[in-house]
Amino acid sequence: MIKKLLPAVAVAGLAFLLPNLAFAQEAAEAAKATGGGAGWGHLSAALVLAIGATAGATAQGRAVVAACDGMARNPGAAGQIRGIAFLGLVLIESLVIYTLVIAFIINGK
C-alpha cells in the first residue's frame, strides 16, 4: 500500500512546491531592489546544523553499540575493533564538522 502511495505523495509535493519556486525569483529581485530580505540564512543554517548533528549523533551511537557488541562477542579482537571504531567515529565527526562549515557559509551570505 505504501509503495503505491509514495509516487502520488511525491507528485503532490512537487505540485505544491514548484509554483513557489516560480515566484521566488520575483521575490528575490524585489528584496534586492529594496535592500532587504527575508533573512532565512540564520534559520537555514540552524536547520542544517541540527539535522547534521542529529544524524551524526545517531550514527556515532550505533557505531559504538556495534563496536561494544563486537568486543563482547570476541574479546581477542578488541584492539582491532577499537581502532576501526575510533576511525569510524572520526569520519562521522568530520561530516558533522563539514555541516558546521556549511552552516557558517549559509549564515555568511
Widest Cα–Cα separation across the chain = 68
**pTM score, two decimals?**
0.58
Higher per-residue pLDDT: 83 or 23: 83
Cell digits of residue 96: 558533522
Q: H/E element holding 68? A: helix 41-73
- Residue 100 has a pLDDT of 87
pLDDT in tens, 16-71: 666 665 565 565 565 665 555 556 778 888 888 888 899 999 999 999 999 999 99
> Do 92 and 59 form a contact (C-beta atoms < 8 A)?
yes
Q: Does residue 81 contact residue 70 with C-beta atoms inside 8 Å?
A: yes
Placement of cell 520575483 in the chain: 26
